[in-house]
Structure 1
């Protein structure tokens, strides 16, 4: 059999990631504050764009131009891309070609925005997952992180935190304990003494003498060293060493990240309770108009430049900028509609949380929301990243409402892991000291409430939230009764 060269022609289709398509995808992942900065860059790079209210007539190009941009239904699909399709052949129609024909590739660089300084909140959030014993505690810890000031201190009381989230004071304390275990040491403190004490414990120097000194910082400030030495019961050499150690601590640990964007979070979505025409309760869901980007095409300036630019190259550049401007306005408008649509579905799925608190969180996945709003999971993932929702219970990132499910009930849906833990906590808190509930009894009670769980699952969640066995609880309640 003879071997020889051969030339074959094969036809295939594939999804092309044009620069504008890449920007459309990245726009979804930006928060409103990041969009504001992005818009500032766009205004500087494109002379045809200007800030202002967007009217329907401003969204269209002048009648005598025909810029090819993503303004059709196919263009709207550009914000809903299946990531897995990028690496395989697929029937894409011609929408990717329309995206490519917009012309300009010199739009604001989204990639350069990723190198900004890390904020205190971001730094702490990255550590929560590995430090929290369960998702409910992580949820509470992230909420507390959002309340910290720029120095890393918590000004709100734990009772306010517990009330806002609908959890017990013990749960709020567990969340604060997680925050105080994070780097930099000292964040989450409510007083200067507590901040320094946390750092002393980290350095393994929080002995009784150091504790007394930290509890009497007013004497240190006054320079009453003789008094301090007497109440600490140490000699002058030990006192000098303790003072040196104390001065090495950072009274404002959060300022190490002062260059980041750790200011108060500005929510993207606002939710308020309302009533419809029939008097029924409903949720009023709106985008935060205070931070919505507003762009229009300056028609007058476009016509002036067009009439005064006889050269073919100049006209080509002008047409390119016009196409970029129209595309960006359409992309931002579609982004806002996608965010609002996704947020509305999340609120619908997690209605119990907004009414009663974290114990009513339902198991929810990206796939569930994506199917409900007819979009791809990757789109929902981008929409819920760096987007915050504000309601009467506080401000939460959209991704927090996606929780795992356990214990499928009669409806086959199951329950949120956080809801199960909350019920276990409530049952053990309310148990009679003389009739402490065993794990088998907890299984029985939970099953009566619709939580179909195995005994080992109940034991696992009980231990995860720091609740001892029935024997340990009986002993602890007996000692408490004696005390």
Structure 2
């Protein structure tokens, strides 16, 4: 058969990942903060998009709102306390009259500029937040560096010592530990190492006590020295902190040369110290979790599932503005640009609507599967995987995975990540329903919390107890779960419980 090149027409179907389809998939796994950032960027690029409040979206001539699922009522939330401009004006006038009782026009004592500005704000009924920003005048929090710099200026008179102390302060980490090297500092500053050691010794007397310690043992020793409690026995204890971490109290008694009662007193003193004194000046931001879905008990015994309105961005397409601008477009390029903006705006509103509905649909199935957990607690948590939820709601497993990523559910039992409800399955010893791995962890933790000092449960004993209750589990699995919960072994727990029992006797 001869080989020859020829042209053929063939029709076939293929799935094409367009940029918009890829972005729709990414929207599913966005957190609330990431979604807000993305929408802000889209609003900046697209003049037909705007974010408005619920009140502004109800007008007849306003922009067309994107369809969204029914939103829950927010009456159960406490309203924010707000002061109107009239209320603030009355309070200020009353205060000024108290200060200047003989002058009815006391507001004029503020000066012509401030008086005019206040009268303008009061008469214009502007919100108080527009005329005064409390955050703009709030004091900046004192950092660890600021606190140390202030003490350096008082502790050292010699400019050279001050320079050395400032250089040492630059090597402090967030916990207040000195992470530098004295020899390297001395070589870099061309100063004798003994001078650097002397300056470091002065810095180690700064507040908070324990600052400038080079390791945990030195940090604790500085605090004990300030309390006049650093005796030879305590020094030996600090030199063997690894034995304390292993709860090897018998070895510590032998090394420190003390009896059991003295060792318990020493351990109590250690527990009262601060292992990270610098964290008292930590100014890191506090991250708050905003639930995406709210689950509440219904009067009929079922569960109501609602999307949190705080995580539902209301993005509107301004159809009126598009019609007005499109009518005045001067060329085809401007019309094409407006048509593209309208297409992208409509796509975004549809994608946000689909995202909200998908989250609600997945959450509803999770609540149906984990009804026992919501009603009775973690001991009734069922084993669940992504495929089970995907098959139940007719979606792909990867879609469920994206929806449950970094999404949170507010329930009567607290706030939980959606991923929390997906746990591995542990077989039943009696051939019944399987048990959730999280429920088994909870059971292990409960058994250990209830044990007595004279009857500490080993991993084998826990396995026997669990098998009697119908949980078929191996010893290595119990050990893995116990270590994952940072629970020490039975030997270490027995030592600690005996020490605590002796201390409470």
**Same fold by TM-score greater than 0.5:** yes
**Partner of residue 325 from structure 1, selected from 345, 359, 368:** 345
Q: Counterpart of 1:46?
A: 46
Q: 1:58 to 1:194 in 2, by over 3 A?
A: farther
Q: 1:340 to 1:58 in 2, by over 3 A?
A: farther
Q: How does 1:82-101 map to 2 (within 5 A)?
A: none
8 Å Cα contact 1:342-1:380 kept in structure 2 = yes
How many positions carry a matched residue from both structures? 328
In the alignment, the residues of structure 1 paired with residue 388 and residue 26 of structure 2 have an alpha-carbon distance, to the nearest angstrom, of: 22
- Asked whether 1:446 is paired with 2:459, we answer no
Q: Counterpart of 1:402?
A: 422
In the alignment, the residues of structure 1 paired with residue 458 and residue 279 of structure 2 have an alpha-carbon distance, to the nearest angstrom, of: 46
Q: 1:391 to 1:452 in 2, by over 3 A?
A: same
Q: Counterpart of 1:32?
A: 32
**Between 463-472 and 419-428, the greater mean CA deviation after superposition:** 463-472
Q: 1:311 to 1:232 in 2, by over 3 A?
A: same
- How far apart are residue 43 of structure 1 and its match? 2.3
Q: 1:269 to 1:464 in 2, by over 3 A?
A: closer
Q: Name the SS of the counterpart of 1:285 in structure 2.
A: strand
In the alignment, the residues of structure 2 paired with residue 460 and residue 194 of structure 1 have an alpha-carbon distance, to the nearest angstrom, of: 42
In the alignment, the residues of structure 1 paired with residue 362 and residue 466 of structure 2 have an alpha-carbon distance, to the nearest angstrom, of: 32
- Between Structure 1 and Structure 2, whose CA radius of gyration is higher? 2
Q: Counterpart of 1:348?
A: 368
Q: Counterpart of 2:288?
A: 264
Q: How does 1:425-444 map to 2 (within 5 A)?
A: 425-431=445-451, 437=457, 439=459, 441-444=461-464
8 Å Cα contact 1:408-1:414 kept in structure 2 = yes
> Alpha-carbon deviations, 1:192-218, whole Å to 9, x = none?
x999769958554234343454xx7xx
Q: How does 1:45-84 map to 2 (within 5 A)?
A: 45-52=45-52, 53=54
8 Å Cα contact 2:210-2:222 kept in structure 1 = no
Q: Name the SS of the counterpart of 1:206 in structure 2.
A: helix
Superposition CA RMSD, Å: 4.5
Q: Name the SS of the counterpart of 1:270 in structure 2.
A: strand
- Asked whether 1:290 is paired with 2:310, we answer yes
Give unpaired runs (5+ residues) of structure 1. 63-70, 72-149, 153-182, 187-192, 217-229, 235-245
**Partner of residue 436 from structure 2, selected from 400, 403, 416:** 416
8 Å Cα contact 1:33-1:266 kept in structure 2 = no
Q: Counterpart of 2:223?
A: 210
8 Å Cα contact 1:59-1:326 kept in structure 2 = no
8 Å Cα contact 2:291-2:410 kept in structure 1 = yes
In the alignment, the residues of structure 2 paired with residue 356 and residue 472 of structure 1 have an alpha-carbon distance, to the nearest angstrom, of: 33
- How far apart are residue 27 of structure 1 and its match? 1.0
8 Å Cα contact 1:185-1:202 kept in structure 2 = no
Give unpaired runs (5+ residues) of structure 2. 68-140, 144-172, 177-205, 233-273
Q: Counterpart of 2:14?
A: 14
Q: Counterpart of 2:407?
A: 387
8 Å Cα contact 2:386-2:422 kept in structure 1 = yes
In the alignment, the residues of structure 1 paired with residue 16 and residue 305 of structure 2 have an alpha-carbon distance, to the nearest angstrom, of: 36
8 Å Cα contact 2:63-2:319 kept in structure 1 = no
> Alpha-carbon deviations, 1:201-256, whole Å to 9, x = none?
8554234343454xx7xxxxxxxxxxxxx67689xxxxxxxxxxx9x97445753x
TM-score by length of 1: 0.55
In the alignment, the residues of structure 2 paired with residue 205 and residue 266 of structure 1 have an alpha-carbon distance, to the nearest angstrom, of: 41
Relative contact order (alpha carbons < 8 A, sep ≥ 6): 1 or 2 greater? 1
Q: 1:197 to 1:265 in 2, by over 3 A?
A: farther
Q: 1:325 to 1:207 in 2, by over 3 A?
A: closer
- How far apart are residue 334 of structure 1 and its match? 0.7
Q: Name the SS of the counterpart of 1:418 in structure 2.
A: helix
8 Å Cα contact 1:387-1:397 kept in structure 2 = yes
8 Å Cα contact 2:362-2:400 kept in structure 1 = yes
Q: 1:286 to 1:432 in 2, by over 3 A?
A: same
Q: Name the SS of the counterpart of 2:304 in structure 1.
A: strand
8 Å Cα contact 2:211-2:278 kept in structure 1 = no
Q: 1:312 to 1:471 in 2, by over 3 A?
A: closer
Q: Counterpart of 1:274?
A: 298
8 Å Cα contact 2:31-2:407 kept in structure 1 = yes
In the alignment, the residues of structure 2 paired with residue 253 and residue 409 of structure 1 have an alpha-carbon distance, to the nearest angstrom, of: 53
- How far apart are residue 323 of structure 1 and its match? 1.6
TM-score by length of 2: 0.53
In the alignment, the residues of structure 1 paired with residue 314 and residue 15 of structure 2 have an alpha-carbon distance, to the nearest angstrom, of: 31
Q: 1:285 to 1:207 in 2, by over 3 A?
A: same
- How far apart are residue 330 of structure 1 and its match? 0.9
- Asked whether 1:314 is paired with 2:334, we answer yes
Q: 1:51 to 1:475 in 2, by over 3 A?
A: closer
> Alpha-carbon deviations, 1:350-374, whole Å to 9, x = none?
3344344444433322222222222
Q: Name the SS of the counterpart of 1:450 in structure 2.
A: coil
Q: How does 1:451-466 map to 2 (within 5 A)?
A: 451-462=471-482, 464-465=484-485
Q: 1:477 to 1:48 in 2, by over 3 A?
A: closer
In the alignment, the residues of structure 2 paired with residue 362 and residue 202 of structure 1 have an alpha-carbon distance, to the nearest angstrom, of: 45
In the alignment, the residues of structure 2 paired with residue 364 and residue 352 of structure 1 have an alpha-carbon distance, to the nearest angstrom, of: 13
8 Å Cα contact 1:443-1:453 kept in structure 2 = yes
- How far apart are residue 41 of structure 1 and its match? 2.4
